[in-house]
Chain A
Amino acid sequence: MAAGVAAWLPFARAAAIGWMPVANCPMPLAPADKNKRQDELIVLNVSGRRFQTWRTTLERYPDTLLGSTEKEFFFNEDTKEYFFDRDPEVFRCVLNFYRTGKLHYPRYECISAYDDELAFYGILPEIIGDCCYEEYKDRKRENAERLMDDNDSENNQESMPSLSFRQTMWRAFENPHTSTLALVFYYVTGFFIAVSVITNVVETVPCGTVPGSKELPCGERYSVAFFCLDTACVMIFTVEYLLRLFAAPSRYRFIRSVMSIIDVVAIMPYYIGLVMTNNEDVSGAFVTLRVFRVFRIFKFSRHSQGLRILGYTLKSCASELGFLLFSLTMAIIIFATVMFYAEKGSSASKFTSIPASFWYTIVTMTTLGYGDMVPKTIAGKIFGSICSLSGVLVIALPVPVIVSNFSRIYHQNQRADKRRAQKKARLARIRVAKTGSSNAYLHSKRNGLLNEALELMGTPEEEHVGKTTSLIESQHHHLLHCLEKTTNHEFIDEQMFEQNCMESSMQNYPSTRSPSLSSHPGLTTTCCSRRSKKTTHLPNSNLPATRLRSMQELSTIHIQGSEQPSLTTSRSSLNLKADDGLRPNCRASQITTAIISIPTPPALTPEGESRPPPASPGPNTNIPSIASNVVKVSAL
């Protein structure tokens, strides 16, 4: 329940008078305000800066340090104030949280200092308001990354003897800075890649004439030398590839990765060339294969971070590029068609077909203008000029738009994804807190029943079992209880509700139910014998059958665990039990049962607990005598 709303609780309770004439049952008693103190000012001295607020303001959040009795530990008797030796700047935000219900994160504050303070005061950071939550999460993530980086660099300096040889090799390949050997290997391969690329290039340079024959390229003049160089490079590359293959943690994935494909393509031509004989027919194909040797230059991308980023960027803005290409293609086709039909009339025109005009259009639109194809007719010239003018527009316009668009959308996407990821986690936590509040009501109902039972037994000094709820909470729960009474229905939590739905659909097969009950040993061992006496039992049964049984039964104590398999038995037994004992209010002079459960430490699992049976099916409202309820409690 939010803070300021607690101030409106009196109003909500007063408005509950609107339900009274409609209700058929008498209402439960209101919680007594035992410790009614006049609202007083509290002085909070935080490192010398004094803050003052009302006591009730702080008590709005009873599960924090300032709202609970924990602050008594900080009470200074001499000065009659609460002294905290903490940061007063952050305390300002904390106190504003109590006042307004919204927690803000000041941007100038360090994230870890803020987190520490929040942890000290017992406040969940998830409560931070929408206005500041994104900033908070971003800073927190940066901080976490920084910590992770620190940890990584620490770990890198440590020696890890536990890694196997294979793993060390893989680490050496992926991160050359790990050891000197890796660094050496890295540079050697880099060198050989460069050598290989340079030889490929130099091979084709004409190298001066051998007397008596035409000019030869260097590759054919010094073919042996080049062949040796090529062999050496391919050796190195093959060895490297095999080593990587051996060291890879997942060989299948490694083979499929882009880098390994590049490696294979780079060395394949050599081997294919070795295998194939120097046959005239296939030598043409063999020469073509040499083209693939240029792919060795892509091996540099392992050595260059920039190349990798470029590749990733191109991949990520593929849709924008595709759009550019598409619009260009459209324009090309249009203009090529127009030019073709315009030049059709002229003789000896180079525009022999529309695909032939494509070349003209592309060269014109990109403002290259080779001049190998020019229009001769007037119409052709007119359309040609239109084509070149529009080429400038078509090319120049989308590119900056796409670039800026890409940049904006990329950042926005990142922010949206971030917010989405944050939102899911946030909503989950808020949902938990919300169900916590409604579960708190169900939880306190049982505790309240226990307390009332104990009180009626005449032991008012006994400690109340379970969590002591604040006055506000008990008043809120009383309000919800009144609503239950007005409508003759009860609040239950979702799981129980679904269970009831399932069971009500199983009502038609009562015979099958009892064996299932008896087949589960466990919790309700004390009631097993009694349960077997019952034949068919519907959850919403009428009174007479249950009244008889209620006379016989004593209360039992269910000590429940919280495992799932036993939950079904507890629920089904609860449904049976729920009608056995009847809530004291509507029946006079009746021995009622109270099922008392001892809550286990995970306090928010009320579904495992047995329920008090306050359901009073409607019409018989006898004269109630609340005071004369007799609750028989027997403890085992």
Chain B
Amino acid sequence: MNVRRVESISAQLEEACSTGDSVEDELEMATVRHRPEALELLEAQSKFTKKELQILYRGFKNECPSGVVNEETFKEIYSQFFPQGDSTTYAHFLFNAFDTDHNGAVSFEDFIKGLSILLRGTVQEKLNWAFNLYDINKDGYITKEEMLDIMKAIYDMMGKCTYPVLKEDAPRQHVETFFQKMDKNKDGVVTIDEFIESCQKDENIMRSMQLFENVI
């Protein structure tokens, strides 16, 4: 037992010595800092008031002192809200939806842009955002596979202990329902127009879009 431990310790020492450029990596990480644009500029760009922006930024900076959120942190934060399930996949999709310039990090501007649409945007903008979220490869069409991925991610967040018991094909069935509702010309994909049109016809969806108006 002790011999094994000696070996493992020596292995660790070797590993630590072999990464010679770790110093540079650390330096690089430390210098990734992002300062957001001026408060007035952001106020003009988004639909938030100054006070709301202040509150938002304080919370943002608290969790991410460096000023940007990378995907790991994003997943961690999001998983704190759903303790029973696994929210990493959905957080990944969400991250891609927020990271509009696809540089692997969500800065405060991206954050505000997304939130501005979600909380203060018109219904059209919100539906657009949702479409963007579902369209994983951003090609303008939602295929059944993409929707299935999204649905599985959502169901993963529920976790194992649900009532009724979560069946294997529950996401797939849900996708079928969704496509029946949305895919008007039955061509197997949902375009943005079909999506917006079908959503506008559904009162449930319209009503729930207004649900989070007063979040801030």
Give Cα A163 to B179, complex, Å: 83
Contact call B84/A438, Cβ cutoff below 8 A: yes
When A480-B82, A491-B158 are in contact, do A15 and B208 touch as well, CB less than 8 Å? no
Interface of A is mostly: helix
Contact call A493/B161, Cβ cutoff below 8 A: yes
Give Cα A14 to B151, complex, Å: 18
Contact call B81/A476, Cβ cutoff below 8 A: yes
| B59 part of interface (Cβ distance < 8 Å) | yes
Contact call A10/B154, Cβ cutoff below 8 A: no
Interface residues of B in 106-149 (CB under 8 A from A): 111, 114-115, 118-119, 126-127, 129-130, 133-134
When A1-B80, A7-B60, A480-B82 are in contact, do A490 and B162 touch as well, CB less than 8 Å? yes
Give Cα A487 to B162, complex, Å: 10
Residues in B whose Cβ lies below 8 Å from that of A494: 161
Contact call A22/B151, Cβ cutoff below 8 A: yes
Interface residues of A in 3-34 (CB under 8 A from B): 4-5, 7-27, 29-30, 33
Give Cα A25 to B154, complex, Å: 15
| B185 part of interface (Cβ distance < 8 Å) | no
When A8-B59, A483-B157, A490-B163 are in contact, do A17 and B130 touch as well, CB less than 8 Å? yes
Residues in A whose Cβ lies below 8 Å from that of B204: 23-27, 621, 624
Residues in B whose Cβ lies below 8 Å from that of A294: none
Contact call A15/B163, Cβ cutoff below 8 A: no
Contact call A30/B214, Cβ cutoff below 8 A: yes
Identity of the chain A residue whose Cβ is nearest the Cβ of B126 in the assembled complex: A17
Residues in B whose Cβ lies below 8 Å from that of A12: 78, 81
Residues in B whose Cβ lies below 8 Å from that of A327: none
Residues in B whose Cβ lies below 8 Å from that of A5: 63, 77, 80-81
Interface residues of A in 610-634 (CB under 8 A from B): 615, 617-619, 621, 623-624
Contact call A18/B212, Cβ cutoff below 8 A: no
| A437 part of interface (Cβ distance < 8 Å) | yes
- Chain B nearest Cβ from A588, distance in angstroms: 13
Contact call A483/B82, Cβ cutoff below 8 A: yes
| A39 part of interface (Cβ distance < 8 Å) | yes
Residues in A whose Cβ lies below 8 Å from that of B127: 21
Name the one of A24, A500, A618 contacting B165, with C-beta atoms under 8 angstroms.
Answer: A500
When A409-B5, A491-B159 are in contact, do A21 and B214 touch as well, CB less than 8 Å? no
Interface residues of B in 1-20 (CB under 8 A from A): 2, 5-6
- Chain B nearest Cβ from A100, distance in angstroms: 8
The 8 A CB mask of B156-176 against A (1 = contact, 0 = none) is 011111111110001000100
Identity of the chain B residue whose Cβ is nearest the Cβ of A29 in the assembled complex: B211
| B58 part of interface (Cβ distance < 8 Å) | yes
| A273 part of interface (Cβ distance < 8 Å) | no
Give Cα A409 to B4, complex, Å: 11
Residues in B whose Cβ lies below 8 Å from that of A516: none
Residues in B whose Cβ lies below 8 Å from that of A29: 211
Most buried by B among A19, A489, A496, A618: A489
When A10-B216, A486-B154 are in contact, do A22 and B60 touch as well, CB less than 8 Å? no
Contact call B158/A489, Cβ cutoff below 8 A: yes
Residues in A whose Cβ lies below 8 Å from that of B130: 17-18, 20-21
Give Cα A29 to B157, complex, Å: 21
The 8 A CB mask of B192-213 against A (1 = contact, 0 = none) is 0001000100011101110110
| B38 part of interface (Cβ distance < 8 Å) | no
Name the one of B80, B94, B166, B170 contacting A15, with C-beta atoms under 8 angstroms.
Answer: B94
Identity of the chain A residue whose Cβ is nearest the Cβ of B55 in the assembled complex: A39
Contact call A7/B163, Cβ cutoff below 8 A: no
Give Cα A500 to B154, complex, Å: 23
Most buried by A among B55, B82, B182, B212: B212
Residues in A whose Cβ lies below 8 Å from that of B199: 21
Give Cα A437 to B79, complex, Å: 13
Q: How many A-B residue pairs have CB under 8 A?
A: 167
Residues in A whose Cβ lies below 8 Å from that of B158: 483-484, 487, 489, 491
When A5-B77, A26-B207, A30-B214 are in contact, do A412 and B164 touch as well, CB less than 8 Å? no
Residues in B whose Cβ lies below 8 Å from that of A4: 59, 62-63
Interface residues of A in 371-424 (CB under 8 A from B): 405, 409, 412-413
Residues in A whose Cβ lies below 8 Å from that of B27: none
| A349 part of interface (Cβ distance < 8 Å) | no
Residues in A whose Cβ lies below 8 Å from that of B81: 1, 5, 9, 12, 476, 479-480
| B215 part of interface (Cβ distance < 8 Å) | yes
Give Cα A496 to B155, complex, Å: 19
Give Cα A524 to B127, complex, Å: 48
Contact call B115/A487, Cβ cutoff below 8 A: no
| A504 part of interface (Cβ distance < 8 Å) | yes
| A319 part of interface (Cβ distance < 8 Å) | yes
| A492 part of interface (Cβ distance < 8 Å) | yes
- Chain A nearest Cβ from B145, distance in angstroms: 15
Contact call B155/A20, Cβ cutoff below 8 A: no
Give Cα A17 to B151, complex, Å: 14
Contact call A491/B115, Cβ cutoff below 8 A: no
Contact call A14/B212, Cβ cutoff below 8 A: yes
Residues in B whose Cβ lies below 8 Å from that of A22: 150-151, 154, 174, 178
| B83 part of interface (Cβ distance < 8 Å) | yes
Identity of the chain B residue whose Cβ is nearest the Cβ of A32 in the assembled complex: B214
Residues in B whose Cβ lies below 8 Å from that of A619: 177
Contact call A20/B208, Cβ cutoff below 8 A: yes
Contact call B215/A492, Cβ cutoff below 8 A: no
Residues in A whose Cβ lies below 8 Å from that of B162: 489-492, 497
Name the one of A8, A11, A497, A615 contacting B160, with C-beta atoms under 8 angstroms.
Answer: A497
| A2 part of interface (Cβ distance < 8 Å) | yes
Residues in B whose Cβ lies below 8 Å from that of A38: 51
| B97 part of interface (Cβ distance < 8 Å) | yes
- Chain B nearest Cβ from A138, distance in angstroms: 21
Most buried by A among B2, B119, B203, B209: B2
Residues in B whose Cβ lies below 8 Å from that of A539: 164
Residues in B whose Cβ lies below 8 Å from that of A25: 204
| A434 part of interface (Cβ distance < 8 Å) | yes
Give Cα A448 to B165, complex, Å: 24
Residues in A whose Cβ lies below 8 Å from that of B78: 12
Contact call A14/B215, Cβ cutoff below 8 A: yes
Contact call B212/A16, Cβ cutoff below 8 A: yes
When A23-B208, A26-B208, A434-B83 are in contact, do A7 and B159 touch as well, CB less than 8 Å? no
Residues in B whose Cβ lies below 8 Å from that of A506: none
Contact call A540/B211, Cβ cutoff below 8 A: no
Beyond A14-B118, A17-B126, A22-B174, 10 additional pairs, beta carbon < 8 A: A10-B56, A14-B119, A20-B205, A20-B211, A21-B130, A21-B134, A22-B154, A487-B174, A489-B170, A491-B162
14 pairs of residues in contact across A and B, judged by CB atoms under 8 Å: A8-B77, A14-B212, A18-B94, A21-B127, A24-B177, A409-B2, A413-B2, A434-B83, A438-B83, A491-B159, A492-B163, A494-B161, A501-B165, A621-B204
Q: Sorted from nearest, which 7 A-B pairs have the closest CB atoms?
A: A7-B59, A497-B161, A14-B118, A489-B162, A27-B208, A20-B208, A4-B62
A residues with a Cβ closer than 8 A to B are 1-2, 4-5, 7-27, 29-30, 33, 38-39, 99-100, 319-320, 405, 409, 412-413, 434, 437-438, 476, 479-480, 482-484, 486-487, 489-494, 496-497, 500-501, 504, 539-540, 578, 615, 617-619, 621, 623-624
B residues with a Cβ closer than 8 A to A are 2, 5-6, 51, 55-56, 58-60, 62-63, 77-78, 80-84, 94, 97, 111, 114-115, 118-119, 126-127, 129-130, 133-134, 150-151, 154-155, 157-166, 170, 174, 177-178, 182, 195, 199, 203-205, 207-209, 211-212, 214-216
